[in-house]
Every structure is written in structure tokens, then in C-alpha cells.
Chains A and B, each alone.
Chain A
Amino acid sequence: MAEKIHKDFHGALSVGFEYLVKRFGKKSLEEFLEVCGRTMYRGLINKIKKEGLIAIEKYWDKIFSLEQAKFKIERKEREVVLKVIECPAISHMRKVGYPVYKDFCIQCRVINRVIARETGLVSEVSYQQKTGRCIQIFRRR
């Protein structure tokens, strides 16, 4: 049986993004996500520095499995690619009727950019929030 996790937190985060943008503007949200990237993902950043791209693969596999997402990961010599077929955060919020902030997916673009900058990698994120699909890549320079 899958481990119980509190997926409603995705809805609270979405409302937090909405508050920041409504009250202080979009730049404020980007700055907050930059802080999240530097602080919350410090452990992952250090692992990537030590282990390389496999650390990202392990991290993605762990969290997307825990969230019961539909996803695929491909690791090649110079890059690791995550294909999210159905984002678990977006699908949960839609299922329970929470409002989804219109650029909820910005979090992956900004946080991945911070992780890439701190580890000397390049990041690419392309997403379609409407369908809950995205492709995230970390690549060696």
C-alpha cells in the first residue's frame, strides 16, 4: 500500500504563490523561489556536487514515486531527463477542487535554475500547466 502523504499541501503552496504575486508582484515570487532553491535544496546540491547526475535521478525517483506520479526518467552520459506525464500536484488540486495558481509550474523552472547554477549544470524546463505535463533536463556543460 502506498505511504500516506498530505497532498493538500500542494493547494496551500499554490495559494501562497497567489498571495505573493497579488500583494507584492511576480518578481517577489521568483525571489522567494530562488531562496527555496538555495536553502531547501542545499542537501541535494551537495549530493549532486559529490555524485553527479545520478543524485538528481535518485531524488526525482524518490519524490515522484512517493507522490504516485506518472513519470519517466532517462539518464544518459551528459544529461538526466524527467518526463512528467501527469503532475501529481496539479492533478490532486484539480481533483479536490483547489484553485491552481496560473503559473504554478514556475517553481520547477526557478528552483532547477538555482540547482543548476550552484552545481555548474545547465537546466531546461518546458511545461504545459494545462495538461500537467512537463520535461525537465539537467545537463553537463
Chain B
Amino acid sequence: MISCTEFILAYNELFKFLHKRYGKKAVVDFWIYISDNFLTNLEHLVEEKGIAGMAEYWTHTLTEEKAEYCMEVGKKHFRIYMKKCPSVGIMNQRKVEKYPYYCEHCDILYKRIIEKYGFDYRIKFIDKNKGICSIKIIKRNIKQ
């Protein structure tokens, strides 16, 4: 059994495998597939609770993944500042060759769901090698 503690390595291998065999489009299509077929729990939370649902989802996942992050939850906005991405940390620790576009999955996977419910989703990759990024989600029609 590929343990859930080994999943990030398998995920990274899958991206590289798809890219090498079938091109980047197959990787992006996979991310879309994951978003549509696996992240239904996030979708239900956002649909039902909006920003509170986002906070619930990411608090659960990032705690279990032992991420180092700051979260800001407002009435009209939601932010995550990722200080140490757990996935990047695992790959750096195990010295595996990271898929060059690895971090992009966090843009496609979540944006697709979040923007469906009236929010703008922006991700900024600050240091992909160290696993530092920020996600900013804002309720539409609200000036920053």
C-alpha cells in the first residue's frame, strides 16, 4: 500500500509520468479531473458556508499535513500565507526531483471550485523551492 505519508511522492511521480508520456496538457487535465471528482468536500463546504467553509477545509487539511502557515479569515476575504508547504518540504527532505510545474496544481485545483461561488482566487508563488506562497480569496464586487 502506498501509505498516505508517501502520497506526495506518488503525486509528484504521477505528474512527471503524465508530462513525459503525454505532455503538460495531460497533467493539467488530471488536475481538473481531481478538482471535479475528488474535491467535492471543499465544494460542498464553500457552497454551504462560503468563507467559513474554506477555513474549515484548509484548517483540517493543513493541520493533518503539518503545514506552517498563517490564515486570515474575514467577512469578505480569506488568506493563507504558506510559510512551509508540507509537500515541498517532503520532496526537499527526500531529495526527489520535483516536477517543475508542481506548485501550479494548487492554482487549478482550488480556483476552479472557489470562483464558481462568487469569489476571486489568486495565488502568488513566492519561493517554489522553499514552498512559500500566498492564496488570497476575495468576495467579488468588493474593492480591496
- Closest-by-CB residue of A relative to B86 is A6
Flag whether A67 is at the interface (Cβ < 8 A).
yes
Interface size on B, residues (CB 8 A): 31
One digit per residue, 1 when the CB lies within 8 angstroms of any chain B CB and 0 when it does not, for chain A 1-40 equals 0001111111111011011100110001001100110011
A20 and B13 CA atoms in complex are apart in Å by 13
A81-125 contacts to B, CB under 8 A, are 84, 87-89, 96, 98-99, 107-108, 111
* CB < 8 Å neighbour of A10 from B4, B30, B61, B64: B4
Number of A residues near B (Cβ < 8 Å) is 38
Asked whether, in the complex, the Cβ of A107 is within 8 Å of the Cβ of B2, the reply is yes
CA gap between A24 and B22 in the complex, in Å:
9
CB distance from B35 to the nearest CB of A (A): 10
Q: In this assembly, does B141 line the interface, its C-beta being within 8 Å of a C-beta of chain A?
A: no
Whether B26 lies near A23 (C-beta < 8 A) is yes
Asked whether, in the complex, the Cβ of A12 is within 8 Å of the Cβ of B2, the reply is no
Tell me if B117 is interfacial: C-beta within 8 Å of chain A: no
Max count, chain A CB within 10 A of own CB: residue among B9, B11, B14, B65: B14
Q: Footprint of A on B, CB under 8 Å?
A: 1-11, 13-14, 17-18, 21-22, 26, 29-30, 33-34, 37-38, 41, 61, 63-66, 96
Give the interface of A toward B (CB within 8 A). Answer: 4-13, 15-16, 18-20, 23-24, 28, 31-32, 35-36, 39-40, 63-64, 66-67, 84, 87-89, 96, 98-99, 107-108, 111
Given A6-B64, A13-B2, A13-B11, 7 more A-B residue pairs with CB atoms under 8 Å apart are A5-B5, A7-B64, A9-B8, A10-B7, A35-B17, A40-B6, A63-B3
